[in-house]
Amino acid sequence: FAPRHLLSIADLTPTEFSTLLSNASSHKTAIKSGVTPAALAGKLSGKTIALMFSKRSTRTRVSTEAAVTSMGGHPMFLGSGDIQLGVNESLYDTSVVISSMVSAMVARVNAHDEVANLAKHSSVPVINALSADFHPLQTIADFVTIQETFGKEKVQGLKVAWVGDANNVLFDLAIGCLKMGVDIAVAAPAGYEIPAAMKQLILASAPKGSTAKLTETNVPEEAIKGSDILVTDTWISMGQEEESAKRLKAFAGYQITEELARRGGAKDSWRFMHCLPRHSEEVDDEVFYGRRSLVFPEAENRLWAAISALEGFVVNKGNIV
Ligand code: CP
């Protein structure tokens, strides 16, 4: 049997996505009260999970290592200096060889094709730990946080405003929003918007009959109007360091502040999210560390998201129940 992989939230039905969120939340409650659920206890015992990271990481590395350990497995961290991931060996060879020795691969790569190729040739499940196009583990954690904050029953009908660079974190978040009935408005400067092919993919991933909308603008205030949640990410992702000066200039006026939210007409109760790592240019300290900020619960939820994804794709072999 071909294994089932998690490369993007687009790979999930709305029901499967909701189930991953519910499992993450219920495991969080149980484990924090000192009970390891039977669905997890020892389920990766004797199994090795390869964590193949071509790029640095704090949250994704720590959460996936801790998640594997909590289920009794062995997380084998393989950094860019350790293995021939996309260097000196084809991805086909790497995938066939590593998947013959481990129970799953969790991979952080550069181009999305790299993780797609690993998955194509792997005999075990592959979980995308961030590619140039998608970051599904982040979106699971984000929606766990949104459900905790607003109440599971009140998520449908919320409005998210993404203000900043249209990047991989946004793409999976937008897919998640449309699957959950959440409107998402994106404000990005000209030249930094969602690429047309990605926009098509996001819209195509919406369930039939969904009334949730994806809208785009170059004006932050337009996206913010009536929003419940303001979200941003770094303006300079890994690998874009040489574009720093150009990007800082292009994104002027996009910093999330109380003043911008007021001017844009966010709801009085608006909350703030950011996947981290954070830089002060995209959000000021008042918002990032203030009463509206969900950033640290959101980061912690990366652990519960990783546990839920490993349970669904490795323990239960893609049968998300
Ligand atoms: N949000 C996130 O993926 O963080 P890391 O890059 O530190 O893993």
Residue 293 shares a structural domain with residue 146: yes
Predicted local distance difference test score (pLDDT) of residue 86: 82
Q: How far is the CA of 56 from the centre of ligand 1 (A)?
A: 8
Q: For a pocket test of ligand 1, which of 57, 64, 110, 303 has the largest count of ligand atoms closer than 8 A to its C-beta?
A: 57
- In this model, does residue 87 exceed pLDDT 90? no
Predicted local distance difference test score (pLDDT) of residue 178: 98
216 lies in a domain? yes
In angstroms, the Cα distances linking 75 to 57, 62, 63, 71, 318 are 15, 10, 11, 10, 20
Predicted local distance difference test score (pLDDT) of residue 236: 94
Predicted local distance difference test score (pLDDT) of residue 279: 96
Q: Residues 182, 160: contact at Cβ < 8 Å?
A: yes
Q: Is the peptide bond before 277 cis (omega within 30 degrees of 0)?
A: yes
Mean pLDDT over 90-109 rounds to 97
- Round to whole Å and give the CA distance between 18 and 20: 5
Q: Which atom of ligand 1 is nearest to the CA of 60?
A: 8
2 lies in a domain? no
281 lies in a domain? yes
Residue 186 shares a structural domain with residue 161: yes
Residue 102 shares a structural domain with residue 90: yes
311 lies in a domain? yes
Residue 43 shares a structural domain with residue 174: no
Residue 275 shares a structural domain with residue 311: no
Residues 198, 177, 17: CA angle, nearest 5 degrees: 100
| 150: enclosing H helix or E strand | helix 136-150
Q: How far is the CA of 90 from the centre of ligand 1 (A)?
A: 26
Q: How many domains does the chain have?
A: 2
Those residues with Cβ within 8 angstroms of residue 131's Cβ, 6 or more apart along the chain or in another chain? 7, 108, 109, 110, 111, 112, 114, 115, 168
In angstroms, the Cα distances linking 73 to 7, 83, 137, 307, 320 are 22, 21, 19, 12, 20
Share of the chain above pLDDT 90, in %: 96
159 lies in a domain? yes
Q: Which of 282, 311, 312, 309 is nearest to 295 (CA)?
A: 282
Residue 56 shares a structural domain with residue 153: no
Predicted local distance difference test score (pLDDT) of residue 199: 98
Residues in contact with ligand 1 (CB, 6 Å cut-off): 57-60, 130, 138, 275-277
Q: Which atom of ligand 1 is nearest to the CA of 63?
A: 8
Domain CATH for 54: 3.40.50.1370
- Round to whole Å and give the CA distance between 271 and 230: 6
4 lies in a domain? no
Give the range of the structural domain holding residue 67, as residue numbers without chain letter.
9-134+302-315
Residue 152 shares a structural domain with residue 288: yes
Q: How far is the CA of 98 from the centre of ligand 1 (A)?
A: 24
Residue 289 shares a structural domain with residue 141: yes
Residue 98 shares a structural domain with residue 212: no
Residue 253 shares a structural domain with residue 147: yes
DSSP-assigned letters across all residues of 244-309:
HHHHHHHTTT--B-HHHHHHHT--TT-EEEE-S---TTTB-HHHHTSTTB-HHHHHHHHHHHHHHH
Q: Which of 275, 294, 298 is nearest to 57 (CA)?
A: 275
Between 7-16, 86-95, 126-135, the lowest mean confidence (pLDDT) is in: 86-95
Share of the chain above pLDDT 70, in %: 100
Q: How far is the CA of 211 from the centre of ligand 1 (A)?
A: 31
Residue 240 shares a structural domain with residue 307: no
Task: Please confirm, yes or no, whether 275 is among the known catalytic residues.
Answer: yes
Q: Find the catalytic residue in 275, 305, 307, 315.
A: 275
Residue 186 shares a structural domain with residue 174: yes
Protein residue with least CA distance to atom 1, ligand 1: 275
- Round to whole Å and give the CA distance between 94 and 130: 18
What confidence category does residue 137 fall into, taking pLDDT thresholds of 50, 70 and 90? very high
